[in-house]
């Protein structure tokens, strides 16, 4: 009972904890609070995110900073057309010890807690599949041996909306496995001024403190799933997802039930990050954009009208 | 789990109190309005109180039953939008037992402690109702000082005549002497005056002061009206009329009296 009360007291402090995490990240990353929140949400949901932005917006720095603050092992995979699955997963290498040759498994960059798969659409489908399998199963199989990946495991794949020549766009079925599609926009004038000031002066760039341990993160992931949701909020989430399938005048293909699960889960994580013990309708509406935008395919009419997935989602929620 | 159920029971009890307070105020208003209206009619004071009281009781129980049926959690949520989603989530997850729901219930309890009956009452409405009730009371006092009485309003139901003060006894058919004259017959005075009761009036007239003391109106003593007992001051100047005229008038008066007796 006393332990329970203590745990409840700790829950009360969660808002401060996440606020401190955001503050710590902001020492390196200027602005982009919403993006940072969405990355945290994806981590809390024990899921993966697809990050779309123009080059030079600080994706790598952002993920590195998040990894440092959360005490997670970070690795980066730069996707290119000649990238092989073994380059990601790892491979067996011959090792000679005292004249005896043995095969030893050399772990690839996938054996980390946070993976930044940069420009994933430049890798071949074979390599993409290898990474996506690791994302889904949280394990990799090489030969006849299976290796479990460290928990928590989070892949942040990026792709550029421009320069699509020579790329292999992710198939819809694989895109569906990403919980969120996070969009990074250009910083506003004030933020960019601050970026210039911070990174063009002499002196050491600020270092971030580790605020959460791996175990704490696992506990938080567990807590995320425990956040209660009211029946009418669940109904609202389902209505939004269902409308993506029935609004045929704008959408060619709607979202799957995985989207419904993702929407509720993401809303729970958002509630937790904001220090709430319940999911509000606003959480659902806020998370509908990153959860659904990569899961719907607009039809010709919507594209001709110049509508983006976010515009259509906004219309669905009216 | 049991505690959160208790909490919801507590919330419902608070809401019940609010409903009762609101209905009580509404009923007070209804009573005053009904009293105000009935006070215009010439009915006994007992009924002036009784009729509004009955109307108020009917109103109270009817509205109470209606509002009790509508007593849902939604009313509580509407009154407290800041805890709306929290309340609903707690309600829908009463069966769940984990750390987050426990934390939610704990927070909800803390918040509900601050959400008392006072928070549920809509102060503006309450103040308006109280002010309206006070105004009606002042209006009743003001109107009663004017002594407005709608005596001539006919009560459509004959059976309700018992409400009129003294109505049954004094205006019963047996006690009314109603004289109806044919147009051809000679009538002295106005016909409406001929509708007489059998009450006799003792008038004390003071000719020198030319005034009548109406405060002394009451049941006349039979003896005082006997012949020859009239006061000396009342008399007729013999020079004012000729003898013949007096005799003619006396004859007509005698005939008139005879006719009355025969009816």
Tens of pLDDT, residue by residue over A86-128, are: 888 888 888 888 888 888 888 888 899 899 988 888 888 888 8
| Nearest-CA distance A56 → chain B (Å) | 40
DSSP B85-142: HHHHHHHHTTT--SHHHHHHHHHHHHHHHHS-HHHHS-HHHHHHHHHHHHHHHHHHHH
- The whole-angstrom separation of Cα A147 and Cα A105 is 10
Alpha-carbon radius of gyration of chain B: 36
Extract the tokens encoding B236.
Answer: 């007729």
Mean pLDDT of A42-68: 87
Q: Is B196 a residue whose pLDDT tops 60? A: no
Q: Is B9 a residue whose pLDDT tops 90? A: no
Quote the pTM value. 0.65
Mean pLDDT of A34-56: 89
Extract the tokens encoding B187.
Answer: 């009538």
| Nearest-CA distance B13 → chain A (Å) | 23
Are A230 and B85 an interchain contact pair (Cβ–Cβ within 8 Å)? yes
Matching CATH number, A10-198, of 3.90.1300.10, 3.30.70.2660, 1.10.1610.10, 3.40.50.300? 3.40.50.300
Q: Which residue has the tokens 């503006």?
A: B124
Residue B179's pLDDT is 46
pLDDT band with cut points at 50, 70 and 90 for residue A80: confident
Q: Which residue has the higher pLDDT, A246 or B228?
A: A246
Q: Is A276 a residue whose pLDDT tops 60? A: yes
Are A228 and B91 an interchain contact pair (Cβ–Cβ within 8 Å)? no
Parse chain A into domains and list their residue ranges.
10-198, 225-318
Q: Which residue has the higher pLDDT, B29 or B107?
A: B29
Peptide bond into A36 cis (omega under 30): no
Q: For residues B59 and B26, is the Cβ–Cβ distance under 8 A?
A: yes
With CA atoms as reference, report the closest residue to A233 among B86, B125, B62, B11: B86
pLDDT band with cut points at 50, 70 and 90 for residue A181: very high
Q: Which residue has the higher pLDDT, A153 or B146?
A: A153
- The whole-angstrom separation of Cα A135 and Cα A88 is 12
Residues of B in contact with A12 (CB under 8 A): 103, 107
Q: Which residue has the tokens 């057309």?
A: A81
Extract the tokens encoding A287.
Answer: 């998370």
pLDDT band with cut points at 50, 70 and 90 for residue A264: very high
What residues contact residue A307 under an 8 Å CB cut-off, 6+ apart?
A250, A298
Extract the tokens encoding B116.
Answer: 């008392």
Q: Is B149 a residue whose pLDDT tops 70? A: no
Which of A59-63, A212-216, A274-278, B215-219 is the least confident region?
A: B215-219
Q: Which residue has the higher pLDDT, A285 or A145?
A: A285
Q: For residues A32 and A187, is the Cβ–Cβ distance under 8 A?
A: yes
**Chosen from A228, A280, A284 to mutate, greatest number of chain B CBs within 10 A:** A228
Q: For residues A24 and A211, is the Cβ–Cβ distance under 8 A?
A: yes
What is the CA angle B181-B176-B174, rounded to 5? 120
Residues of B in contact with A278 (CB under 8 A): 85-86, 89-90, 104
Facing B100 at nearest CB: one of A228, A230, A281? A228
Give B155-162's long-range contacts (Cβ < 8 A, gap of 24+).
Answer: none
> Measured between alpha carbons, how far apart are the two ends of chain B, in Å?
92
Q: For residues B85 and A274, is the Cβ–Cβ distance under 8 A?
A: no
Mean pLDDT of A32-55: 89
Extract the tokens encoding B190.
Answer: 């106005």
Residue B175's pLDDT is 46
Q: Supply the mean pLDDT for chain B.
A: 70
Q: For residues A155 and A134, is the Cβ–Cβ distance under 8 A?
A: yes
Mean pLDDT of A243-261: 89
Mean pLDDT of A162-182: 82
- The whole-angstrom separation of Cα A149 and Cα A140 is 7
What backbone torsions phi and psi does residue B98 show, to the nearest 5 degrees? Answer: -150, 180
Q: For residues B164 and B43, is the Cβ–Cβ distance under 8 A?
A: yes
pLDDT band with cut points at 50, 70 and 90 for residue A259: very high
**Chosen from A271, A277, A279, A285 to mutate, greatest number of chain B CBs within 10 A:** A277
pLDDT band with cut points at 50, 70 and 90 for residue B125: confident
- The whole-angstrom separation of Cα A167 and Cα A149 is 28
Residue B172's pLDDT is 46
Residue A200, sorted as left (phi over 0), alpha (psi -120 to 50) or beta, turns out to be: alpha
Sign for the pseudo-dihedral over CA of B184, B189, B193, B199: negative
Residue A238's pLDDT is 94
Q: Which residue has the tokens 């002497």?
A: B177
Question: b/e string for A157-184 if b means 16 or more Cβ within 10 A?
Answer: bbbeeeeeeebbebeeebbbbbbbbbbb
Which of A174-178, B68-72, B93-97 is the least confident region?
A: B68-72
Q: Across-strand partners of A158?
A: A51
Q: Across-strand partners of A90?
A: A107
Residue B171's pLDDT is 46
Mean pLDDT of B77-95: 77
Q: Supply the mean pLDDT for chain A.
A: 86
Residue B167's pLDDT is 52
| Nearest-CA distance B71 → chain A (Å) | 19
- The second-level CATH assignment, the architecture, of A225-318 is Orthogonal Bundle (1.10)
Q: Is A307 a residue whose pLDDT tops 70? A: yes
Largest CA distance in chain B: 122
Q: Is B234 a residue whose pLDDT tops 60? A: no
Residue B181's pLDDT is 45
Mean pLDDT of A140-166: 82
pLDDT band with cut points at 50, 70 and 90 for residue B193: low
Extract the tokens encoding B48.
Answer: 């002036």
Residue B80's pLDDT is 67
Q: Is B182 a residue whose pLDDT tops 80? A: no
Extract the tokens encoding B103.
Answer: 């934390």
Number of other CB atoms surrounding residue A311 within 10 Å? 14
Q: For B92, which residue in chain A has the nearest alpha carbon?
A: A230
């Amino acid at each position: 009972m006393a332990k329970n009360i203590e745990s409840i007291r700790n829950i009360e402090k969660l808002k401060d904890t996440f606020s401190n995490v955001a503050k710590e990240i902001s020492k390196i990353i200027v602005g982009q609070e919403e993006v940072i929140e969405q990355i945290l949400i994806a981590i809390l949901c024990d899921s993966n995110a697809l990050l779309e932005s123009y080059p030079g917006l600080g994706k790598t720095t952002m993920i590195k900073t998040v990894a440092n603050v959360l005490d997670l092992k970070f690795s980066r995979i730069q996707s290119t057309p000649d990238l092989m699955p073994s380059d990601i997963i790892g491979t067996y290498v011959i090792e000679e010890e005292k004249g005896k040759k043995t095969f030893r498994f050399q772990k690839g960059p996938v054996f980390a807690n946070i993976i930044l798969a940069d420009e994933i659409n430049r890798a071949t489908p074979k390599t993409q599949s290898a990474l996506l399998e690791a994302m889904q199963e949280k394990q990799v199989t090489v030969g006849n041996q299976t290796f479990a990946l460290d928990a928590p495991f989070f892949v942040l794949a990026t792709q550029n909306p421009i320069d699509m020549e020579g790329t292999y766009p992710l198939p819809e079925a694989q895109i569906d496995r990403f919980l969120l599609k996070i969009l990074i926009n250009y910083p506003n004038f004030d933020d960019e001024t601050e970026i210039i000031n911070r990174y063009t002066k002499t002196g050491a760039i600020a270092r971030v403190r580790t605020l959460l341990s791996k175990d704490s993160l696992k506990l938080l992931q567990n807590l995320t799933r425990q956040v209660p949701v009211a029946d009418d909020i669940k109904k609202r989430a389902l209505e939004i997802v269902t409308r993506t399938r029935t609004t045929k005048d704008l959408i060619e293909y709607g979202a799957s039930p995985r989207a419904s699960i993702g929407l509720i889960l993401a809303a729970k994580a958002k509630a937790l990050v904001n220090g709430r013990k319940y999911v509000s309708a606003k959480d659902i509406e806020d998370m509908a954009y990153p959860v659904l935008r990569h899961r719907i395919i607009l039809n010709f009419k919507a594209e001709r009208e110049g509508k983006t997935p976010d515009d259509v989602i906004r219309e669905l929620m009216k | 789990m049991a505690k959160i159920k208790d909490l919801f029971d507590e919330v419902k009890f608070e809401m019940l109190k609010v409903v009762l307070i609101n209905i009580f105020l509404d009923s007070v208003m209804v009573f005053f309005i009904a009293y105000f209206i009935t006070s215009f009619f010439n009915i006994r004071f007992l009924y002036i109180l009784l009729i509004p009281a009955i109307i108020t009781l009917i109103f109270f129980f009817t509205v109470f039953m209606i509002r009790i049926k509508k007593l849902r959690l939604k009313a509580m949520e509407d009154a407290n939008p800041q805890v709306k989603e929290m309340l609903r989530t707690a309600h829908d997850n009463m069966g769940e037992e984990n750390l987050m729901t426990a934390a939610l219930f704990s927070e909800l309890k803390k918040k509900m402690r601050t959400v008392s009956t006072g928070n549920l009452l809509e102060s503006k409405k309450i103040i308006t109702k109280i002010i309206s009730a006070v105004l009606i009371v002042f209006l009743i006092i003001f109107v009663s000082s004017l002594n407005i009485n709608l005596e001539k309003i006919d009560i459509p139901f004959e059976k309700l005549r018992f409400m009129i003060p003294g109505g049954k006894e004094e205006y019963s058919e047996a006690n009314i002497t109603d004289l109806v004259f044919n147009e051809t017959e000679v009538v002295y005075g106005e016909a409406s005056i001929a509708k007489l009761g059998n009450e006799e009036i003792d008038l004390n007239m003071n000719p020198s002061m030319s005034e009548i003391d109406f405060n002394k109106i009451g049941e006349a003593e039979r003896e005082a009206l006997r012949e020859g007992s009239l006061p000396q001051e009342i008399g007729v100047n013999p020079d004012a009329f000729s003898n013949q005229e007096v005799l003619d008038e006396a004859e007509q008066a005698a005939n008139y009296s005879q006719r009355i007796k025969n009816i």
